[in-house]
Amino acid sequence: MKILLFTVWFVTLAFTSYASAVEFNTVEFAGKRFTVCRVNVRKERLQLFHRDETGQPFKRFDRLAPWLESRGQKLTFAMNAGMYHGDFSAVGLFVSGGQQVVPLNNASGDGNFFLKPNGVFAVTETGARVIDSSEYPNLRERVILATQSGPLLVRSGKLHPAFNANSESRLFRNGVGVPSPEFALFVISDVPVNFYEFATLFRDKLCCPDALFLDGTISSLHAPELKRSDSRMDLGPIIATTE
């Protein structure tokens, strides 16, 4: 049944495909609009960026893009990829190019990151996945890329228990869901939404059994094919594709 739903979803959303394996679409759900960026992780190399070779954080797409261009690469898709401290270092796990830069953070604390269960978006040798942070140490596959954030929006088809459908806390939000190991869906709301609305989008519209919140308020998207490059606030980790 899940396979049937997944296939129908691909047809009905009618993604616009460009030169790369990143596809874009705008969807309406519960009266609100979202931009969905679908990345085929087996055809497209997702990368995490944070600091340049001098140790300076990129912070913005318009700093990352020219840095890449000087190295013969074009930034084709980018989104903020997790929460960060005042010095722009990642709050939780950060694995780039198979190398762990920041370790897993299973501490308790205040704020969305620590609203357990939180989770990890990872790309391994077998594909993309979103898992509970507590399960990450049990992974036996080589991890190519990973970023930790919180809370988990959807876990095994169930919404986070703390979410309230009537919550008035509505912000621009972004996150990532995994409908299958082959694809990662990066989503940003085009209008303010609460956690419940955002999570149900992933579960009920995008058919993602697992999805992770990346951040709110600062949520930003770089998509040249959509003629869009947000610059709301400075960013920490950035996830991106290049060509």
| pLDDT bucket at 20, cuts 50 / 70 / 90 | low
What is the structure's pLDDT at 3? Answer: 32
| pLDDT bucket at 17, cuts 50 / 70 / 90 | very low
pLDDT tens for each residue of 104-145: 999 999 999 999 999 999 999 999 999 999 999 999 999 999
Residue 10 has pLDDT above 70, yes or no: no
> Residue 35 corresponds to which tokens in the numbers above?
């931009």
> Residue 21 corresponds to which tokens in the numbers above?
């394996």
What is the structure's pLDDT at 19? Answer: 44
Determine the average pLDDT of the residues in 204-233: 97
CA 28 vs CA 12, 35, 193, 197: distances in Å: 12, 9, 12, 12
**Residue 117, preceding bond cis, omega within 30 degrees?**
yes
Determine the average pLDDT of the residues in 168-179: 98
Residue 238 has pLDDT above 80, yes or no: yes
- Cα 233 from Cα 173, distance rounded (Å): 13
- Cα 112 from Cα 195, distance rounded (Å): 11
Indicate the range of 4-18, 104-118, 139-153, 208-222 predicted with least confidence.
Answer: 4-18
Phi and psi at 55, nearest 5°, equal 95, 5
| pLDDT bucket at 21, cuts 50 / 70 / 90 | confident
What is the structure's pLDDT at 9? Answer: 36
What is the structure's pLDDT at 14? Answer: 44
